[in-house]
Structure 1
């Protein structure tokens, strides 16, 4: 029986020899020649902390959308947005929405809140003991915060939310995390905080570091209400004649369709009353080195429209759980850094700027797709641009 263990090098697992052995292993045990997967420009030496058993790279085509005009507090001016996707029509649709927004004077974007959680659950003998612990947490917040912040140079414990059920106390330790997404940071900090609590609390308690109340990489109502990552709003007012010129539909029909879509969202009990926020966010996440699994939370969206007395249409999107970074993780890898640099969003002090650009991008995509559906251009656009014909 042949040895089917994936080859690893004991001291230099990202070196040329280790990578070549794994590529040969794949060729021996599968039907793939790795003609394209093994061809890449990134330096494997930069990958520790990002990938294990490295053998190649997936090349996802990228298209350029824009210009996107953003009137943000951090993002100001026009941006060309890199979108990594294999879905035809996506870049064209977002570009069309961006063109409309630009003609209307740009999208206004605002970061409303910024916090990342770890959510330990504490167990007690009875409900009264759990209730008493709530007060103790408030009384010793400064010491708990000091223990948590001893593990990080940029994370700050903002507050501890508390939710009682039975003899359990579910908590949400809320942190600011700078330009990092912060899940690992908050995990380490909260573990240190819980260790201090365990050592200093006068009563008996047990804790589980994550009680699934932070709902990491899972969408949830609690995060939509209380924020996870960045809560950011993008909004715009659209004159009717401009919408008719660019989208071939009047705002009254667009608003009426919106009301019907809201009913469908209610009936299906979805976390998103929009059209396709996950499309633009996923494409930007891949391009800029974000943790793509966070799209499960980040694509949650509150869409709101209002038909104004003068006939204009007000439209906005609120992303309550946008989990992104401009530093750390995959953002420093070669192609991902280049895409962030295209947006002037790489490195320290840039994460709110990136959040505003992403929210404005989502708004453009929502306007474009909703208009295509109402104008009955949606199917034809996919037929023209979305079929990979031989």
Structure 2
């Protein structure tokens, strides 16, 4: 009775000593669902306290959710939308546009994203910079930008298919919505409309579309960076050139 859109779809729990941790899972329509899920959880918690003898209140959140933190449980179960993106890039495009080869990207992905992240102690994650793209996308579309913490968990894969490059990014924790807090700003409304996320349809359709576009944005940025890093000095040259142009434009203005 606390929401027209929140639906309880799963319950998971852990018991440690005399403490019970519960993770409620909801579908939340086109909303990202932070407040919706908290309100529903509050109602469920009240019901449990009234009907089950011997238990007492601990907290509305026990960090088993897990909100705005990189955890193994989010990587395993997902939080928000789970999106897999993939594309196959012809060899000529890899050579002429990305200035690299499929073999070089595959080797770099193994050494950097897989082994490098393993050595660093990454949590169910193997990517170069998902957070960069997500932050810009979240700010432009009125999302809770702090959710890029768990959103940046994900796995990049690359395969050399006879010179063509298969490239994929999997993001299990995309928390995005097209309604709710942060969506009333003019530029946000404009951006969501331009992205086709204001269409009529079943609840959740626009949010799913937005999640797919966000994941595609991540894939493009991830591919660009890895391709650049297969060539010594290219990443720094690009930074210096763009920063110098930006500075000149500001001075000239």
Scaled by the length of structure 2, the TM-score of the pair is 0.90
- Residues 247 and 372, structure 1, Cα contact 8 Å, conserved in 2: yes
Alignment of 1:86-235 (within 5 A): 150-235=1-86
Distance in 1, matches of 2:198 and 2:154, equals 25
Which of 239, 244, 247 aligns to 1:382? It is 239
Q: Secondary structure at the match of 1:350?
A: helix
Q: 1:256 to 1:204 in 2, by over 3 A?
A: closer
How far did 1:240 drift?
2.2
Matches within 5 A, 1:243-282: 243-261=94-112, 262-271=114-123, 272-282=125-135
Select the structure of larger CA radius of gyration.
Answer: 1
Partner of 1:333: 185
Q: What is the root-mean-square deviation in Å for CA atoms of aligned residues? A: 1.5
The answer on whether the counterparts of 2:109 and 2:156 sit within 8 Å (CA) in structure 1 is no
Which is helix-richer, 1 or 2?
2
Distance in 2, matches of 1:204 and 1:214, equals 20
- Match of 1:386, SS? helix
What corresponds to 1:43 in structure 2?
none
| Counterpart secondary structure, 2:26 | strand
Matched with 1:324 is 176
Aligned pair count? 240
Whole-angstrom CA distance in 2 between matches of 1:368 and 1:204: 53
> Could you say which structure has the greater relative contact order, defined with CA pairs below 8 angstroms and 6 or more residues apart?
2
Where do 4+ consecutive residues of structure 1 move more than 6 Å?
none
In the alignment, what sits opposite 1:73? none
CA displacement, residues 89-124 of structure 1 (integer Å, 9 cap, x when unaligned) = xxxxxxxxxxxxxxxxxxxxxxxxxxxxxxxxxxxx
**Match of residue 292 from structure 1:** 145
Contact 1:162 1:170 in 2 (8 A): yes
User: Matched residue of 2:61: which SS?
Assistant: coil
Alignment partner of 1:314 is 2:166: yes
